[in-house]
Amino acid sequence: MDPSSDFFAALRRMKARREANSATRKTDPDAGLRAPASTSPSQHSGQIGPTGMALIKRFEGCARRRADGRFEAYPDPGTGGDPWTIGWGATGKGIVQGTIWTPAECDARLERDLVRYARDVTRALGDCPTSQTQFDALVSFHYNTGAIAKATLTMLHKAGEFAGAQAEFGKWVHAGGRRLNGLVRRREAEASLYGHG
């Protein structure tokens, strides 16, 4: 079975749940970021879960929506320039000033990217026991920083020093030489999610 097909099925289920729970989110904006009470300390699935997806979407946003419903690239908030970003935080080849995508292109790119980022995290962790919430937090961290292979938090996690790994999230709050409040909030949310593991 193609693992990406399970991922896309999970995305469809998440969308249906999100629509069904829209009233809850309006009154409690952090509801989608709390780990389910039944989160098990068992091994992760190798795919980002709904809680991790909600965290990424909350902090990435799908910014710069135009009047025609499409989205345009915007400069990195830390540098004011490169890397240019579009949709749910996509960067890379072909994303430059003037790039415009449809909402479907934004969603498709996020799906592809998260399969790749989850694979990177799985490779970095090896066979280290990791709960789904820890995995989701690490995928969010890697999606934002690209640093899963070199981060001290990964080494601490692999050593079973979970409290130390959780504290490391707070060190990744700078971009373009500046401390950014958005990164502070994101790292706090990732650390909180990681701690539910």
Q: Which segments within the chain are labelled E, that is strand?
A: 71-72, 100-101, 174-175, 178-179
Report the C-alpha gap between 89 and 79 in whole angstroms: 15
**What is the pLDDT, as a whole number, of residue 6?**
58
Mean pLDDT for back-to-back runs of 10 residues, the chain (197 residues): 52 52 47 41 83 95 94 89 93 95 96 96 95 97 96 97 97 92 97 92
Let me know if 72 is a catalytic residue.
no
Name all domains of the chain by residue range, CATH numbers in brackets.
3-12+44-60+107-195 (1.10.530.40)
Token pair of 197 as six digits: 């593991």
pTM higher than 0.85: no
pLDDT at 32: 46
Write down the pLDDT at residue 79. 84
pLDDT of residue 30: 52
**pLDDT at 18 (0 to 100):** 53
Half-sphere exposure of 166 (CA within 13 A, CB side): 16
For residue 37, what pLDDT is reported? 38
Q: Output the six-digit token pair for 120.
A: 């990177």
Q: Which of 60, 72, 105, 161 is catalytic?
A: 60
Closest CA to 3 of 114, 149, 89: 114
